[in-house]
Amino acid sequence: MHELSNLSMWHATMSADEWGPGRPALAGDTQVDVAIVGAGYTGMWTAYYLLERDPSLRIVLLEANVVGFGASGRNGGWCSALLPMGLDQVASVSSRDAAVRLQREMHDTVTEIARVVEVEGIECDFQLGGYVMLARNQVQMERAVAEIDHLRSYGFEADDYRLLEASEARDHCNATKVVGGTFTPHCAAIHPARLARGLARVIERKGAVIHEHTAATEITPRTVRTSHGTVRADVVVRATEAFTPSLKGEARTVVPVYSLMLATEPLSDSFWREVGLHDRPTFNDGRRMIIYGQRTADGRFAFGGRGVPYHYGSRIDPSFDRHAKVHQSLHDTLRELFPALGDAAITHRWGGAVAAARDWWCAANYDRATGLATAGAYVGDGVGTTNLSGRTLADLITDQASDLTSMPWVGHRARKWEPEPLRWIGINAMAQLPLSADRHEERTGTSARWRNALLGRLTGH
Write a three-state SS string for 285-307.
Answer: ECCCCCEEEEECCCCCEEEEECC
Confidence of residue 459 (pLDDT cuts 50, 70, 90): low
Question: What is the predicted pLDDT for the residue at 2?
Answer: 85
Residue-wise pLDDT tens digits, 369-412 = 999 999 999 999 999 999 999 999 999 999 999 999 999 999 99
- Compute the distance between CA of residue 240 and CA of residue 434 in angstroms, rounded to an integer: 28
Q: Give residue limits of the domains in the chain.
A: 5-75+192-251+359-406, 82-191+256-357+420-459
- Compute the distance between CA of residue 81 and CA of residue 114 in angstroms, rounded to an integer: 13
DSSP state of 159: T
* Cβ atoms < 10 Å from Cβ of 183: 22
5-75+192-251+359-406 matches 82-191+256-357+420-459 in fold: no
Angle at the Cα of 71 from the Cα atoms of 70 and 77, rounded to 5 degrees = 135
Residue-wise pLDDT tens digits, 200-227 = 999 999 999 999 999 999 999 999 999 8
Residue 136 has pLDDT above 70, yes or no: yes
- Compute the distance between CA of residue 410 and CA of residue 389 in angstroms, rounded to an integer: 9
- Compute the distance between CA of residue 288 and CA of residue 430 in angstroms, rounded to an integer: 12
Confidence of residue 35 (pLDDT cuts 50, 70, 90): very high
Under a CB-based contact definition with an 8 Å cutoff, are residues 282 and 292 in contact? yes
Residue 253 has pLDDT above 80, yes or no: yes
- Give exposure, 385-413, as e/b (b: 16+ Cβ within 10 Å): bbbbbbbbbbbbbeeeeeebbebbbbebe
- Compute the distance between CA of residue 454 and CA of residue 449 in angstroms, rounded to an integer: 9
Stronger pLDDT, 35 or 447, i.e. the higher one: 35
Under a CB-based contact definition with an 8 Å cutoff, are residues 334 and 295 in contact? no
Pairing state between β 180-184 and 301-305: unpaired
Question: What is the predicted pLDDT for the residue at 1?
Answer: 72
Mean pLDDT of 51-64: 98
* CATH (one of 3.90.1150.10, 3.90.1200.10, 3.30.9.10, 3.40.50.720) for 82-191+256-357+420-459: 3.30.9.10
Residue 47 has pLDDT above 80, yes or no: yes
* CATH (one of 3.30.470.10, 3.90.1150.10, 3.90.226.10, 3.50.50.60) for 5-75+192-251+359-406: 3.50.50.60
Stronger pLDDT, 452 or 300, i.e. the higher one: 300
- Compute the distance between CA of residue 220 and CA of residue 209 in angstroms, rounded to an integer: 21
188: Cα separation from own chain's centroid:
13
Lowest mean pLDDT among 98-102, 269-273, 432-436: 432-436
Question: What is the predicted pLDDT for the residue at 436?
Answer: 81
Question: What is the predicted pLDDT for the residue at 308?
Answer: 87
- Compute the distance between CA of residue 259 and CA of residue 174 in angstroms, rounded to an integer: 25
Confidence of residue 451 (pLDDT cuts 50, 70, 90): low
Under a CB-based contact definition with an 8 Å cutoff, are residues 138 and 445 in contact? yes
Residue-wise pLDDT tens digits, 351-364 = 999 999 999 999 99
CB neighbour class for 142 (10 Å; exposed up to 12, middle 13-18, buried from 19): middle
Residue 455 has pLDDT above 80, yes or no: no
Question: What is the predicted pLDDT for the residue at 128?
Answer: 98
Residue 38 has pLDDT above 70, yes or no: yes
Q: In residues, how long is the chain? A: 461
Residue 146 CB partners (closer than 8 Å, separation 6+): none
Stronger pLDDT, 452 or 176, i.e. the higher one: 176
Residue-wise pLDDT tens digits, 275-322 = 999 999 999 999 988 999 999 999 999 999 988 889 999 999 999 999
Beta strands in 130-177 (DSSP E): 131-135, 162-165
